[in-house]
Amino acid sequence: MTRQPWGQPPLPEWAISITAASVYLARVSWASATPTVLVEASETLPAGAVSPSMLALNMPDVGAVGLVVRRLASQTGGGRRRVALVLPDMVAKVALIKLEQVPSRETELVEIIRWQLRKSMPFPVERAVVSIADQGTDTAAGEFLVAAARADVVQQYEQACAMGDLDVGLVDLESLALLHRTSHESGVPDGDWFFVRVDSRDVTLVLGRGPAVTFHRHRADEAEGSVADLIHQTAMFYEDRFKGNGFSRVWLAAAPGLTAADEVQRDLQGRYGNVVQLSPARPTAILAGAVAPQTGTV
């Protein structure tokens, strides 16, 4: 869920996503400006095998999911390998935390951020695994993009991977992986930008200014209105809070075949015109984003 934590070894070439619908495993090369999928395999999961959630265990039978992972690993050559694990957005809480003074020691920073998270976490922060991305916006003060998930939930996904001899080298979220791929291919805008990710189960909205994320919101159901309502609310927040003068780029990443995506696209283009760009959101695009080189944004 972080792009570049302290002491992180080189990014893996392999990535795996485990969702409510399927498992997807691929090897991706970033030898050029765009990714090349060298090897890929996928398998549909039976209903109920994975139920992404922030509050409860996601797999009633980790072994059943692990067998699927093992089959895909065998189909793609077998052998132990290091992978990036991409989780559904619903698994983690994403927050932006600002500190007036950043401690020099990593352990102190983690402790402070965990303390800050207590106010907004839907479960005890003591049970969370927390990853921190330094957005590098100031020399003394700091702004951090933080993702937190229940440790036992993440462990279930890691255990399923281990059954296929896959060692998890980093963990990312679907929307952040897509955003990372998009910004790597398109370049990070100098001005303000808006990223909208729409899936059949959830919506994620991200605002940014230059290389830094300034706002992140995830919604997992229809309780807060339509996607158009959320876009409108986010646009108003942008104008009121950030005094924005308009977006230099708006990205829409929609799951393939999603009927509602056409309506969202029309809404965005009606609001922002030709700055709206479509971003691939197929499984290989998500996996490629998880292993894309660092470019200065999430």
| Per-residue pLDDT at 44 | 98
Give me the residues paired with residue 14 across strands. Answer: 27, 83
Strands of the chain (E only): list them.
14-18, 22-29, 36-44, 81-87, 93-99, 128-134, 142-150, 166-173, 192-198, 203-209, 212-219, 247-254, 276-279
Q: Where are the alpha helices (DSSP H) in the chain?
A: 62-75, 106-117, 151-162, 174-186, 227-241, 260-272, 283-290
By the 8 A CB rule, do 208 and 214 touch? yes
| Per-residue pLDDT at 4 | 41
Residues 175-290, CATH architecture: 2-Layer Sandwich (3.30)
Distance in angstroms (rounded) separating the CA atoms of residues 186 and 17: 23
| CA-wise closest residue to 10 among 295, 258, 293, 284 | 293
**Cβ count near 104 (within 10 Å):** 7
175-290 shares the fold of 14-89+151-173: yes
Distance in angstroms (rounded) separating the CA atoms of residues 70 and 18: 13
Q: What is the CATH number of domain 14-89+151-173?
A: 3.30.420.40
pLDDT, averaged in runs of 10, over the chain (298 residues): 46 95 96 92 97 96 98 96 96 93 88 92 92 74 91 98 96 94 86 93 92 91 76 92 89 87 91 90 94 68
Distance in angstroms (rounded) separating the CA atoms of residues 286 and 26: 10
Q: Is the pTM of this model over 0.85?
A: yes
Distance in angstroms (rounded) separating the CA atoms of residues 219 and 247: 22
Any idea which fold 93-149 has?
A: Dna Ligase; domain 1 (3.30.1490)
Domain ranges in the chain are: 14-89+151-173, 93-149, 175-290
Range 251-263 burial, b when 16+ CB lie within 10 A, else e = bbbbbeeeebbee
